[in-house]
Amino acid sequence: MHRLPLTCSALAVALALSGALAGCGKKSSDANKQPAPQTVTVAAAAQRQISGALTASGRLIPREEMAVAADLNGYRVARVTVEEGAYVRRGAVLAVLDDSLLRSQVDQVRATLSQQQVAAEQASVQAGRVDGLDNQGVLSKEAIDNRRFAVRSSRAAAAATRAQLNDLLTRQNHLQIRAPADGVILERTVRPGDTSSTGTAMFRMARDSQIELYAELPESDVAQIAIGDPVEVVLASGRKLAGQVRLIGMRVDAQTGLSIARIALPRDPELRQGGFAQARFTRTFSVLAVPEAAVHFDADGASVQVIDGKDRVSRLRVRTGRRAQGLVEIVSGLAAGQRVAVKGSAFVLNGDQVKVAK
């Protein structure tokens, strides 16, 4: 009668042990299960065409600036005929000097010249009267020579006065300050009532209204551009102009390490001397490149996650170059055709197994 309860107890213990063992087996199975590999997208390093990878900034400066000053000292400025920003033609009158003093001098010299011309004519007539009287005993040789010398002397005096008159007339013509070439007035520093001085510029002009961008580039970037390369120039207002590399500077600033590229621009009223602009050099280059998202930067530099044939990750150090259009140039460290992780590359480590998204 006591065997039945014992059998039931044993059975209960056996069931409990069986459940415990089953639970332990399940936990051990979960522990041995590996996590799913990270899914990544890949791209192959390849030769790609990129443009606009190089940018520079600088100031707008006239291609050729001209200083316009008076040719005469000490004359009062009577009036000024132009303002800053005016476009003028070659020979246009920019300012006029007062000619009242010079005009009286011209009148005085003209009167003197007239007197001397009359004296020369009279001397010539008198000298003509003694022609043929040499050695005739009518007049002495000295008297005859004096008449002939008087002609030469009076003519020389008239010539000297005529030269003096021409000098005054030339000065009178220079009382009008004229534009030396076509261009735009950049600055006007003269006012009516000022006194003229040959060493002081009254106006500054941009010849032919040509304004250029003096773009500053690091020495390492100068080798990447050439004369004639197309350039997109962005003004401070955001407006874009098409330009062209006209000249590349041969000097590198010892302090900044920068050189100058002169960018020729079309004539435009929005171009103002001293304004700021940015240049984007749009020449197309064929370079070994990968997507920008595939390149990672840290304290040691740039690196990419290379995916081998077994879909395993290996981190590779690279040296980068130009960046444009979502691409980064690989200068060294990576060969064409090697696959690099793009999306998901930030979540994998060196040696990880990955799943490549199709």
Q: Residue 297 belongs to a domain with what CATH number?
A: 2.40.420.20
Residue 22 belongs to some domain of the structure: no
Residue pLDDT, tens place only, 316-333: 999 998 888 889 999 999
> What local confidence, expressed as pLDDT, does residue 17 receive?
44
User: 355: pLDDT confidence band, cut at 50, 70 and 90?
Assistant: confident
Domain co-membership, 126 together with 194: no
Residue 213 belongs to some domain of the structure: yes
Q: What is the DSSP pairing of strand 354-356 with strand 38-40?
A: parallel
User: 15: pLDDT confidence band, cut at 50, 70 and 90?
Assistant: very low
Q: What is the pTM of this model?
A: 0.60
> What local confidence, expressed as pLDDT, does residue 7 receive?
44
Q: Considering only residues 33 and 250, tell me which one the structure prediction assigns the higher pLDDT.
A: 250
Q: Which residues of 281-295 are buried (b: 16+ CB within 10 A; e: fewer)?
A: bbbebebbbbbebbb
Domain co-membership, 263 together with 327: no
Report how far residue 133's alpha carbon sits from residue 126's, in angstroms, rounded to the nearest whole number: 13
Looking at the predicted structure, is the pLDDT value of residue 129 above 80?
no
Residue that finishes a domain, picked among 257, 284, 311: 284
- Coil, helix or strand for 209? coil
In the numeric block, the tokens 């060969």 are attached to 335
Residue that finishes a domain, picked among 258, 284, 310: 284
Domain co-membership, 279 together with 215: yes
In the numeric block, the tokens 């350039």 are attached to 231
Least Cα distance to 171 among 93, 92, 99 occurs for 99
Residue pLDDT, tens place only, 69-103: 999 999 999 999 999 999 999 999 999 999 888 88
Domain co-membership, 214 together with 238: yes
User: 135: pLDDT confidence band, cut at 50, 70 and 90?
Assistant: low
Q: Backbone phi, then psi, for 169, in 5-degree steps?
A: -65, -35
Residue 6 belongs to some domain of the structure: no
Domain co-membership, 131 together with 232: no
Domain co-membership, 90 together with 193: yes
Q: Backbone phi, then psi, for 204, in 5-degree steps?
A: -125, 135
Q: Which two tokens stand for residue 137?
A: 């005993």
Domain co-membership, 278 together with 148: no
- Over the chain, what is the mean pLDDT? 85
Instruction: Identify the CATH number of the domain in which residue 241 sits.
Output: 2.40.30.170
The count of domains in the chain is 4
Report how far residue 70's alpha carbon sits from residue 165's, in angstroms, rounded to the nearest whole number: 21
Least Cα distance to 219 among 251, 264, 262 occurs for 251
Report how far residue 73's alpha carbon sits from residue 200's, in angstroms, rounded to the nearest whole number: 10
Amino acid at 200: T
Domain that holds residue 86: 66-97+180-206
Q: Which two tokens stand for residue 192?
A: 């009516």
Residue that finishes a domain, picked among 284, 299, 325: 284
Residue pLDDT, tens place only, 157-212: 889 999 999 999 999 999 999 999 999 999 999 999 999 999 899 999 999 999 99
Q: Which two tokens stand for residue 133?
A: 């009287």
- List Cα–Cα distances, 89 to 65, 80, 83, 97, in angstroms: 15, 16, 14, 20
Residue pLDDT, tens place only, 253-307: 999 999 999 999 999 989 999 999 999 988 787 889 999 999 999 888 999 999 9
Residue 121 belongs to some domain of the structure: yes
Residue pLDDT, tens place only, 202-233: 999 999 999 999 999 988 888 888 999 999 99
Looking at the predicted structure, is the pLDDT value of residue 24 above 90?
no
Domain co-membership, 186 together with 229: no
Domain co-membership, 158 together with 92: no
Amino acid at 255: Q
Contacts of 236 (CB under 8 A, 6+ apart): 275, 276, 277
Residue 198 belongs to some domain of the structure: yes
